[in-house]
Amino acid sequence: MNLKNIYLSFFFATLLFTTSMTMIGAMLISHEVKQFKIYTQGISKTKQKVTLLGLLMESELARYEGKTAKEIGELTEFSFQDAVYALEAGSELDYVESVARKVLHEAEGYLSNVYERIDVVLYFRSYTANKFILENPIEELENLAAPFDVDWCKETNSCVLAAWKDQLADRILISQPFKTTYSDSRAFSVISPVYYQGQIVGEFGEQIFLDSLRAEGKALTVDINNGNKHVVVYFPHYPWPDFAYTQTYVADNNNLIVYKYPFSKILIDFGFLYLIMFAVIFGYYSKAQESRESKIQLANAISDATKDELTGLFNRKVFKEQAFKNKIKMTTFTVIAIDGDRVKRINDKYGHHVGDEVISIIADAMKKVFRATDYLIRTGGDEFIAILPDCSESKSLMLAKKLRSVVKENRLKSLDIDVSVSTGIAMSTEHETLNDVIMRADEDLYECKRERC
């Protein structure tokens, strides 16, 4: 195993992974910021809702002062199926509770979208006669005394009786997260007090369930700092929770909601990408190295036994090399047959040493025109062929024309002899041997000579 390939793979995989994690992290955090904003906007709307309901009820209490609970009931326009739960079964609604029920039913006329959310429970809690009035029935609350336990509500900070005076200055109390008394779900309450004749007579609240947070793998914890509560939303199963992107929301004058998205979550959730990147890059470098070594070995082997001494081109022995056979077997190729014009006449008139110069001019021109990966072969005397793997017929025609032009430009100046070549082209087809293609190229060459192309 090549250590250089391992180091390079490690470096580039780390670089690519870091870049990818930065981009993915930015997108994930952007999404989480939007979700947190939606969540906190929901809390803000809930605060507005319960506050307005409380103020509306205080106005109605003053407005209908002197009327009986029965008279208030007769004035109420019932718009949905509510539910009333009392600590003492069978007890009637008193004046305060009748007004609260009236406000709940008529609130749609004052507030939009009051009853749309399905993950909340809107309620009024009476302290005058211990009743709950809910927007929807909850069967589990039937004959259940636990919701009326003042000690429990003070422990969870889920009723205004648990608040000190200054805490209600903004008319909002937000409870700690708690397990509801009628189910296994966890929730928290947003509450606003209702005052009548200088006393707290009840509260409007909305219980918001936390099931969606749990489904997303999130958890809540409450930290007390100088008497203020920090409700921390975090991911419990990831290390270094404090090394995180943090958002905060001031819920009320005693509660700060802190949302933490740990950077370790991005690394752990997407860490498998690093292994994939490393494997792909290492595979690429390994294959590239194998390819380089194969080319060097092939070049050395061919150079030792298959080179023409005069021109440096391949000779016929290259046809027997396994590397050459494998190359042309794996791909289509084009054969260009090349014949020096009037070379025999030059030999007869000026001697073979001049003929050799002409042959060298043709070979040098071939090296200039064709690719390093092409097979340039001197088959004998003034005859050559060029075998071009993965080269289209149109490209081959262009190269043949260029070769004729380059040869013509390199005349033998010492004796003022023009040098030229004729060419013939054939492209391999399926199930055709190399000899078949060479024969077709020769036929095209002879046709070219006849037509003096």
Tens of pLDDT, residues 131-149: 889 888 887 776 667 777 7
Confidence at 333, pLDDT banded by 50, 70, 90: very high
pLDDT (average), residues 405-409: 89
pLDDT at 111: 62
Give the helix/strand (H/E) hosting 106: helix 95-106
pLDDT (average), residues 429-441: 90
Tell me the DSSP string of 196-211. Answer: ETTEEEEEEEEEEE-H
The two tokens of residue 369 are 């025109």
Q: Nearest CA to 341 among 397, 306, 381?
A: 381
- The Cα–Cα gap between 203 and 254 comes to 18
What pLDDT, in 10s, does the model give residues 149-186?
778 888 888 888 878 778 888 899 888 888 887 788 88
- The Cα–Cα gap between 14 and 281 comes to 11
Whether 415 contacts 354, CB under 8 Å? yes
Q: Strands, DSSP E only, in 275-315?
A: none
Confidence at 304, pLDDT banded by 50, 70, 90: low
- The Cα–Cα gap between 206 and 121 comes to 5
The two tokens of residue 65 are 């002062």
Q: Nearest CA to 321 among 337, 294, 291, 298?
A: 298
Using CA of residue 47, residue 49, residue 52, residue 58, what is the dihedral sign?
Answer: negative
Average pLDDT, the chain: 86
List residues bridging with 388 in a β-sheet: 334
- The Cα–Cα gap between 41 and 45 comes to 6
Residue 52 has pLDDT above 80, yes or no: yes
Higher pLDDT, 303 or 267: 267
What pLDDT, in 10s, does the model give residues 226-240?
777 888 888 888 898
pLDDT at 306: 79
- The Cα–Cα gap between 278 and 283 comes to 8
What pLDDT, in 10s, does the model give residues 108-138?
656 655 555 667 888 999 999 888 898 888 8
pLDDT at 299: 65
Q: Which CATH class is domain 306-451?
A: alpha beta
Domain boundaries, the chain: 3-210, 306-451
Whether 438 contacts 393, CB under 8 Å? no
Residue 197 has pLDDT above 60, yes or no: yes
Residue 256 has pLDDT above 70, yes or no: yes
pLDDT at 118: 63
Whether 104 contacts 135, CB under 8 Å? yes
3-state DSSP assignment of residue 437 = helix
pLDDT (average), residues 309-330: 88
